[in-house]
Amino acid sequence: MSDDEYRVAVEDGIEFPVPADGERWAVGAVILNRDGAAFAQRRGPGRRLFPDCWDIVGGHVEPGESLLDTLAREVAEETGRHLRRVRRHLGTSTPLTAGSAPTTSPASRRTGPPVSTSSTT
């Protein structure tokens, strides 16, 4: 899927990191409606991670996909809607591995409303 296929507007100053070869990444989207209410979905009871929990839209980056392509695909797959705009990059975290502590980029520590995407039907 190309970014043009979804016509996603990305706010000025937002840059998406590029995963290095062999890294496994995931994306997530906080989707707000016009009233500022966040969309959450319930994970199925058979899910390996966090079964039966409320969660944001997201998923793993497939080989050859950009983070923006993945975000648009996951929003479409999980909500039936199309990603229109990315308003903020909330942050990038490293995965947890045995004996390590997570690290988070400064973007995730910004103040203000947690808005990263919006969608329409």
> What's the average model confidence in pLDDT over 10-34?
89
Q: How confident is the model at residue 108 (pLDDT cuts 50, 70, 90)?
A: very low
Single pTM value for the model: 0.71
User: What confidence score (pLDDT) does residue 93 get?
Assistant: 75
CA angle 81, 39, 58 (to 5 degrees): 65
CA distance 21 to 14: 22
Residue 79 has φ and ψ, to the nearest 5°, of -125, -15
Cβ atoms of 69 and 82 within 8 Å: the answer is no
Domain that holds residue 104: 3-16+25-120
What does the pLDDT average to over 94-117?
Answer: 48
Counted domains in the chain: 1
CATH number of domain containing 97: 3.90.79.10
pLDDT at 42 over 70: yes
Q: Between these two residues, 60 and 97, which has the higher pLDDT value? A: 60
pLDDT, averaged across the chain: 78
